[in-house]
């Protein structure tokens, strides 16, 4: 049993609480396995009417996966541990998505990457005043994964492409508008709502506690985003940016200029593929094509070095710009994976 996540039955609920606040509740491999084991145990347990997920600490629900160990393996040329981590994590993500009972996630603070995979596939996704949600993987040479491409593919218009390529952070209103969350409840009310869920198992308590949320910034940006991020390839996006771009695009341009060109090009292709067949299983299988190759053939090791290890924020990507990226490299990164059990 991991000390970094607590799973238990309280009243009518199966309770999952992430308990490593000093690490911003970053999701480790043992945590993934324990969450999956709890879901398996509760699936057919009549005593559990619903699952409630939350996290300790003030700063984060979950700021992503625990990727430092993957970096250290990668610089040694060891890739199978990372591949196993992703396979097992994605299997857990699929089980959350398909869980036959209500799953309520209370997501405060940073909700990034792997945190989206834990919190945003349930039936009742609650955000609050401190929520800052994003899929920032292109900034570390990865792609939005953990089923994130499904959420991005189903976002209004071309918001998915915008969010996936830039890693833009979303507050409560934006997260609800983009389809990553369902309810805004002031965080001061969360303990009482969770206690009622535990005591009654009545998930409609969430509907009763929900409050109106403010106007989404992304809604005002929608038309400009759609006009730029509707292209088929990464070059189409860059060429659609005018010399004097509006606020949304000028804001996006900064992230596009610093993120991995390979990751952005593959992210765009993945969102398009998943939009054509929007299932959690297709999303995870497509994502694994990239992530299983990311440390060996992509920018992932360098991205983690610059962001997490050395923290110089100055990665040297394989390709300095999108113009220098051969289109065939995108194809190579997204070929089917053979010789492994990659059913999620």
**How long is the chain?**
344
Half-sphere exposure of 123 (CA within 13 A, CB side): 14
Q: Which residues contact 183 (CB under 8 A, 6 or more apart)?
A: 124, 125, 126, 127, 176, 206, 207, 209, 210
- The pLDDT value given to residue 338: 85
Tokens of 157: 């218009």
C-alpha pair distances (Å), 290 with each of 137, 147, 152, 190: 12, 13, 16, 37
Query: What are the Cα distances from residue 275, in Å, to 17, 131, 337?
Result: 32, 26, 20
Q: For residue 215, what pLDDT is reported?
A: 94
Q: Which pLDDT value is given to residue 1?
A: 63
pTM listed for this prediction: 0.97
Q: What is the dihedral of CA 157, 167, 215, 221, to 10 degrees?
A: -50
Q: How far apart are CA 7 and CA 271, in angstroms?
A: 33
pLDDT of residue 77: 92
Kindly list the averaged pLDDT for each block of 10 residues, start to end, along the chain of length 344: 90 98 96 98 98 98 90 91 94 98 98 97 98 98 98 98 98 98 98 98 98 96 97 96 95 96 98 98 97 96 95 95 94 90 72
Residue ranges and CATH numbers for the domains of the chain are: 1-344 (3.90.226.10)
Whole-number pLDDT of residue 257: 95
Res 339: pLDDT: 75
């Amino acid at each position: 049993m991991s000390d970094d996540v607590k799973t238990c039955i309280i009243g009518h609920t199966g309770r999952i609480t992430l308990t490593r606040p000093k690490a911003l509740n970053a999701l480790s491999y043992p945590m993934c396995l324990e969450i999956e084991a709890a879901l398996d145990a509760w699936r057919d347990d009549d005593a559990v009417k619903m699952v409630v997920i939350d996290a300790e600490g003030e700063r984060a629900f979950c700021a992503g996966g625990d990727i430092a160990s993957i970096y250290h393996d990668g610089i040694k040329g060891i890739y199978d541990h990372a591949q196993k981590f992703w396979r097992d994590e994605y299997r857990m993500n699929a089980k959350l998505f398909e869980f036959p009972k209500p799953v309520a996630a209370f997501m405060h603070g940073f909700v990034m990457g792997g945190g989206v995979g834990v919190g945003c596939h349930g039936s009742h996704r609650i955000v609050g005043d401190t929520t800052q949600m994003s899929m920032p993987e292109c900034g570390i040479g990865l792609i939005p994964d953990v089923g994130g491409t499904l959420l991005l593919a189903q976002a209004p218009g071309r918001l998915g492409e915008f969010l996936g390529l830039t890693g833009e952070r979303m507050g409560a209103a934006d997260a609800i508008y983009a389809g990553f969350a369902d309810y805004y409840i002031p965080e001061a009310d969360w303990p009482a709502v969770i206690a009622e869920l535990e005591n009654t198992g009545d998930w409609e308590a969430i509907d009763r506690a929900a409050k109106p949320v403010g106007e989404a910034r992304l809604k005002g940006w929608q038309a400009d985003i759609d006009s730029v991020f509707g292209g088929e390839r990464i070059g189409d996006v860059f060429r659609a940016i005018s010399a004097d771009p509006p606020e949304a695009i000028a804001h996006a341009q900064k992230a596009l200029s610093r993120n991995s060109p390979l990751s952005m090009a593959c992210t765009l292709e993945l969102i398009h593929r998943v939009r054509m067949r929007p299932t959690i299983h297709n999303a995870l299988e497509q994502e694994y094509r990239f992530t299983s190759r990311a440390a060996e053939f992509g920018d992932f090791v360098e991205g983690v070095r610059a962001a997490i290890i050395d923290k110089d924020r100055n990665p040297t990507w394989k390709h300095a710009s999108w113009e220098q990226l051969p289109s065939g490299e995108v194809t190579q990164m997204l070929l089917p994976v053979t010789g492994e059990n990659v059913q999620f």
